[in-house]
Structure 1
Amino acid sequence: MSSKFIEKDNKIKKIMILFFFILFLLIILLISIFDTMKSFRQLPSLETSKKELSVRGDIISKDNFKITTSKKIYKASIDTRHLDINKKELFIKLFSIYSNIPYTKLEKKVNESLKDPGNLVLSYNIDSKTAKNLKELGFKLRRLGVFISRKVQGGKILRGLSVIESGEKRLYSYEDTLTPVVGYITKFESKNGKTKVKGIKGLEKKYDDLLNNSKDGILSGNRDVLSYISFNKNSTIKQRVDGANLVLNIPLKLQKNNEMILDIYKEKLKAQEIIVSIMDSKTGEIISLASSNRFNPERIYQKDIPSLNVNAIEYQYEPGSVIKPISIALVLDKGRIKKNELLFAYNTKGKANKDGEFPRGQYKLGRFTIKDDHQFKKHYLTLDDIVIFSSNIGTLQYAQRLSGREFYEGMKKFGFTKKTGIDLPYEKTGVIPKVWQFAANDKKNEDNVFKATVSYGQGMTATFMQILKAYSAFNNDGVMVTPKIVSYVEVEGDKYIDKTIKNEQIISKKTADEIKRLLIKTVNEGTGKAAKIEGLEIGGKTGTAQIARRGKYLKEYISSFFGFVNDGENSYTIGVTVMDPISTGKYWYYHYASWSAVPVFKEVIDNLVKLNYLTPKNDIISN
């Protein structure tokens, strides 16, 4: 046989080997494609459409921290009729690793379901990152044969691990910060069966419609082997629109620092609650509204129930002497107080003590006797004496210069008996008696008694926020501002500011300046001395009132200090109210505002200085 023939034969053999090798590869490829198509037939329809769940809007602090936000949650479930019993343990182990749910907890659920096989929800509360991982796990489990097909009429079906959007969860990133103002929510099931939330109290309630004003997105297209939608020119994509965001006037750091101050003083004073608010005197922007009584909206316990209300607007109480500057302002504004005039102190019964102080004044009004707390070294009082040393007798004498109707309408003009307009729900209005209605049967001079007691803050009720709003007029040329917590509402990137809020000139600038002078003098020389800080203009008025319940006064007190602070550029109205501080034992005097509310007021101002909201100036003389 020639060498040429042998060489030709070898070439043919090589070609045949190559041909069969290629044929073998083609067969393997066809088998693979067939297997893949078989897998596709076991998956849901390749054409798919689904909604992308939108969520509730965020509540954001002035310094851009999310106080509360919402996140989507997912539900993971299986049909235990499709679970291969021989691979049950493998499934539980892998699902536990991917979901971070304890193995024993999953094992118990699966075993219980296998007694009566069917749909089993493994978790309703899976975050988006875990959901993505579990979807990939679902594909791997099918490859591992963990789930098996079931015969049904018309063919076979295979159901594996299902991970779908189940709703949303509300998160409070800083736990009890800014509560109860921020409020809390409750869950409900929407029309499409998803878990949604709605506000019950606080800002969550007030702005519920805007926070929940959202639209679900729509995604449609072909589904790939991992159950994700593959997008192309024929797909439909409609972006989801989440609810509106609330951006507050309150910075997080300032709020948290104030809450820390209140926590310390609540323990020191053994108080039931302490409330503090700081408001811009010119704009009404609330930059802090803090309470010592707070709760975590994600975990509300039985003990938290008394803390759920915003007592700054919902609790009505007799405010005491903080009302005196308001009553005197009404008389001043009518021009019925003469310059340098003197009022009798009604303190001539008895001799002066070793310090030259006469007995406390006693003023007879019908069958009532009204007393002063302060002892004076003289029998006649100036306007400055009456305000600085908080004389009940001097204040009521001024109030008698107004008719009952004038006095009532004046108090109403200052905002009492009506809501402040703050953007919180469930605000109360307080009560002031219509004193002129008693004049028709005025045999016992009841008209004068009501004017007298209300003039120094008894026989009436008000809320903390009503008093704060009223005091803004003294630091703003007689203009009273409306308190507001939300700076603006953000909808799809656009800002919306409430422009319906109106401020009101309630007294003249001349009257406001005179009351402001008296309040500054009260801090420099009177009951508010503990609030004094060099380089800042500070004024305010103390008030200590007994708590009334069922028509009787208890041996429990509410101590307040309302006032203002200015540094020449920034101007704030500040209120502090201490509910039921200790009034017995070694520290019995803590119930006086000068020992409780005033020190808290000073700490709040120190905090404003530390955080650069105020800068003490050398040219501001505080004495």
Structure 2
Amino acid sequence: MPSNLKEKDNKIKKIMFLFFFILFLLIVLIISIFDTMEEYRRLPSLETSKKELSVRGDIISSDNFKIATSKKIYKASIDTRFLDTDKKELFVRLFSIYSNIPYKKIVEKIDESLKEPGNLVLSYNIDSKTAKNLKELEFKLRRLDVFKAIKVPGGKILRGLTVSESGEKRVYSYEKTLTPVVGYITKFETQNDKTKVKGIKGLERNYDKLLNSSKDGILSGNRDVLSYISFNRNSTIKQRVDGANLVLNIPLKLQKNNEMILDIYKEKLQAQEIIISVMDSKTGKILSLASSNRFNPEKIYQNDIPSLNVNAIEYQFEPGSVIKPIAISLAIDKNRIKKNELFFAYNNKGNVNKDGEFPKGAYKLDRFTIKDDHQFKKNYLTLDDIFIFSSNIGTLQLAQRLTGPEFYEGMKRFGFTRKTGIDLPYEKIGMIPKVWQFSANDKEKEDNVFKATVSYGQGMTSTFMQILKAYSAFNNDGVTVTPKIVSYVEIDNNKYKEDKIENEKIISTKTANEIKRLLIKTVTQGTGREAQIDGLEIGGKTGTAQIARDGKYQKEYISSFFGFVNDEKSSYTIGVTVIDPISTGKNWYYHYAAWSAVPVFKEIVKNLVRLNYLSPKNDIISN
């Protein structure tokens, strides 16, 4: 055979060999891929969907701090049937490092599960950062063959470490701040075994539906061989929508500073509780609503139970003398007081003492004797005397000039026996006598005991917030405002405010200004003198009342100071109530409002100055 033909034949043989070799490799590769797909088959169908869990909305202070927020939590699980027991130690050590769960705890769970192998949840409460780390570990464990495939009819399956969303966790970053107003939540399980939360008290309860108005995200489509969803025009993509956010009128810094003041005075006064609030007199915006009794919503203990209620709206008490300006304003508004009129002090019995003072007044009403605490140096009182020295006898004489229906309707108009409209749940309304009880003796034009006692704040109950709302009229031309904690609701980056907040004209501007004058005089010359601060217009009224329990008055007291503070631009109505301050021993006088509620009021006003909510004309804060 010629050499050129032989050479040609060899080339053909080499090409044929190479062809069959490549074909062989290709067949082996196809078989290998097919076998791998069969061996690690995980998904029963081509179509799949994945949900992205939405979470509850945030509660945010006016200065943009998150008071309450929700974070996703994840669960990590394995199926111990697939765990290679020879590599159990390796898995436990790696999982403990990545999850920060104690080694011993993981070993105990796995050993218990291996007695009856199956699905095992290693943790339900993994944060998002740890979950991300564990998902990285999941791929490493596959490469290390920590889990082994199990034969099943039609092939093999393999299940390793699984990290998935398990629900949400409510986080209160500032712990006790703004409680009990912010409220607390409870957990519940959805039909898909996800942990969700709902509000039980406070803002969490009142706005529960809005906070939980969320929608889970959905991703659905066909899967590829690696279990990834491939998207096309037939796929579904819905982004998750979290619940609405509440943006408050309350700034965090002012609230925390006020709470610090309450903590100091609660210890000093040994009080059961101190409640304060600062409200914009024109708009009703609550800038601060604080209690000395607070709790951490994430860790509620048995001894926290008495602190769970918002006592500013849920605790009903006899308010005492802080009601006097309201009763007096009703008489003024009906023109029942003459200009420069004098009122008998009922203190002319007995002898004048060495200081020229008459005995304290004593007024007989049916079988009751009503007395004054202040000792006057004269037999007759002006309206200013009655007001600034808090005369029970003078006040009840003014109340008797109103008919029963006038007095009853006037008290209701000021907001008593009605909810204030504040955006908190479980608000109480207090109690006053019925209209017919106020009307007894109207025809005979004789004194009525119910009008008398209610006029100085006994024989009735109210809440702290009802009194605060009533006092807003004296600093707002006779108009009461509706207290509001939430400024607006934010849904999907859109802001929504309440359409209309009802404010109510309850007395004339002239009457309101007269009471305002008297409240200012009470601070400059009367029982509220310690509330003065240079450069600011401050007015207010003290009130001290005994606590009634089981129909009897106790040797326990509630001291209050309600009033206002104004500068050239801002106008605030402020209330302070001290429940059961010390009233024995060397500090027995602390139960008087002038020694308890008034100093707290002054510190709250100082806070407003320091944080630039108020600007004194001379920029000096009195000590």
Q: TM-score normalized by structure 2?
A: 0.93
Consecutive unaligned residues of structure 2, counting only runs of 5 or more, are 1-7
Q: Which moved more, 1:336-345 or 1:188-197?
A: 188-197
Question: 2:619 & 2:442 partners in 1: Cα distance?
Answer: 54
CA 1:102/1:69 → structure 2, altered by over 3 Å: closer, same or farther?
same
Consecutive unaligned residues of structure 1, counting only runs of 5 or more, are 1-7
Per the alignment, in what secondary structure is the counterpart of residue 459 of structure 2?
coil
Question: 2:303 & 2:444 partners in 1: Cα distance?
Answer: 48
The offset of 1:296, in angstroms, is: 0.6
CA 1:302/1:223 → structure 2, altered by over 3 Å: closer, same or farther?
farther
1:527-538 alignment to 2 at 5 Å?
527-538=527-538
CA 1:551/1:181 → structure 2, altered by over 3 Å: closer, same or farther?
same
Question: Does residue 1:385 correspond to 2:385, yes or no?
Answer: yes
2:416 aligns with 416
Count of residues paired in the alignment: 618
Q: Which AA in structure 2 matches 1:448?
A: N
Question: 1:241 & 1:259 partners in 2: Cα distance?
Answer: 35
Q: Is the 8 A contact 2:189 2:196 kept in 1?
A: yes
Q: Is the 8 A contact 1:59 1:245 kept in 2?
A: yes
2:4 aligns with none
2:570 aligns with 570
Question: 1:546 & 1:225 partners in 2: Cα distance?
Answer: 78
Per the alignment, in what secondary structure is the counterpart of residue 484 of structure 1?
coil
Q: Which moved more, 1:301-310 or 1:357-366?
A: 357-366
Q: Is the 8 A contact 1:438 1:447 kept in 2?
A: no
Q: Which AA in structure 1 matches 2:107?
A: E
Q: Is the 8 A contact 2:49 2:221 kept in 1?
A: yes
Per the alignment, in what secondary structure is the counterpart of residue 369 of structure 2?
strand
Q: Is the 8 A contact 1:139 1:226 kept in 2?
A: no
1:476 aligns with 476
Q: Which AA in structure 2 matches 1:126?
A: I
CA 1:76/1:366 → structure 2, altered by over 3 Å: closer, same or farther?
same
The offset of 1:201, in angstroms, is: 0.4
1:318 aligns with 318
The offset of 1:359, in angstroms, is: 1.5
2:3 aligns with none
Q: Which AA in structure 2 matches 1:480?
A: T
The offset of 1:135, in angstroms, is: 2.0
1:209 aligns with 209
The offset of 1:153, in angstroms, is: 3.6
The offset of 1:444, in angstroms, is: 12
The offset of 1:192, in angstroms, is: 2.4
Question: Does residue 1:286 correspond to 2:320, yes or no?
Answer: no
CA 1:500/1:191 → structure 2, altered by over 3 Å: closer, same or farther?
farther
1:4 aligns with none
The offset of 1:355, in angstroms, is: 3.1
Per the alignment, in what secondary structure is the counterpart of residue 219 of structure 1?
strand
Q: Which moved more, 1:162-171 or 1:569-578?
A: 162-171
Q: Which moved more, 1:146-155 or 1:591-600?
A: 146-155
2:397 aligns with 397
Q: Is the 8 A contact 2:74 2:165 kept in 1?
A: yes
Question: 2:259 & 2:329 partners in 1: Cα distance?
Answer: 33
2:488 aligns with 488
1:415-454 alignment to 2 at 5 Å?
415-437=415-437, 448-454=448-454
For residues 221-242 of structure 1, what are the alpha-carbon distances to aligned partners after superposition, in whole Å with 9 as ceiling and x for unaligned? Answer: 4557886645566542110111
CA 1:603/1:16 → structure 2, altered by over 3 Å: closer, same or farther?
farther
The offset of 1:21, in angstroms, is: 11
Q: Is the 8 A contact 1:61 1:250 kept in 2?
A: yes
For residues 321-365 of structure 1, what are the alpha-carbon distances to aligned partners after superposition, in whole Å with 9 as ceiling and x for unaligned? Answer: 000000000000000011111101111122333333222110000
Question: Does residue 1:133 correspond to 2:125, yes or no?
Answer: no
Q: Is the 8 A contact 1:435 1:450 kept in 2?
A: no
The offset of 1:132, in angstroms, is: 2.2
Question: 1:38 & 1:609 partners in 2: Cα distance?
Answer: 75
CA 1:585/1:228 → structure 2, altered by over 3 Å: closer, same or farther?
farther
For residues 421-447 of structure 1, what are the alpha-carbon distances to aligned partners after superposition, in whole Å with 9 as ceiling and x for unaligned? Answer: 100000000000025337568999996
Question: 1:329 & 1:29 partners in 2: Cα distance?
Answer: 97
The offset of 1:203, in angstroms, is: 0.5
Q: Is the 8 A contact 2:441 2:447 kept in 1?
A: no
CA 1:499/1:532 → structure 2, altered by over 3 Å: closer, same or farther?
same
1:30-49 alignment to 2 at 5 Å?
37=37, 40-42=40-42, 47-49=47-49
CA 1:568/1:580 → structure 2, altered by over 3 Å: closer, same or farther?
same
For residues 431-469 of structure 1, what are the alpha-carbon distances to aligned partners after superposition, in whole Å with 9 as ceiling and x for unaligned? Answer: 000253375689999961111000000000000000000
Q: Is the 8 A contact 2:440 2:448 kept in 1?
A: no
Q: Which moved more, 1:310-319 or 1:494-503?
A: 494-503
CA 1:226/1:612 → structure 2, altered by over 3 Å: closer, same or farther?
farther
The offset of 1:561, in angstroms, is: 0.2
Question: 1:20 & 1:586 partners in 2: Cα distance?
Answer: 109
Q: Is the 8 A contact 1:366 1:445 kept in 2?
A: no
2:305 aligns with 305
Q: TM-score normalized by structure 1?
A: 0.93
For residues 264-299 of structure 1, what are the alpha-carbon distances to aligned partners after superposition, in whole Å with 9 as ceiling and x for unaligned? Answer: 100010000000000000000001000000001111
Question: 2:44 & 2:126 partners in 1: Cα distance?
Answer: 23
1:177-216 alignment to 2 at 5 Å?
177-216=177-216
Question: 2:581 & 2:199 partners in 1: Cα distance?
Answer: 33
For residues 550-571 of structure 1, what are the alpha-carbon distances to aligned partners after superposition, in whole Å with 9 as ceiling and x for unaligned? Answer: 1100000000000000001100
Q: Which AA in structure 1 matches 2:457?
A: G
Identity of aligned residues (%): 83
Q: Which AA in structure 2 matches 1:332?
A: I
Q: Is the 8 A contact 1:439 1:447 kept in 2?
A: no
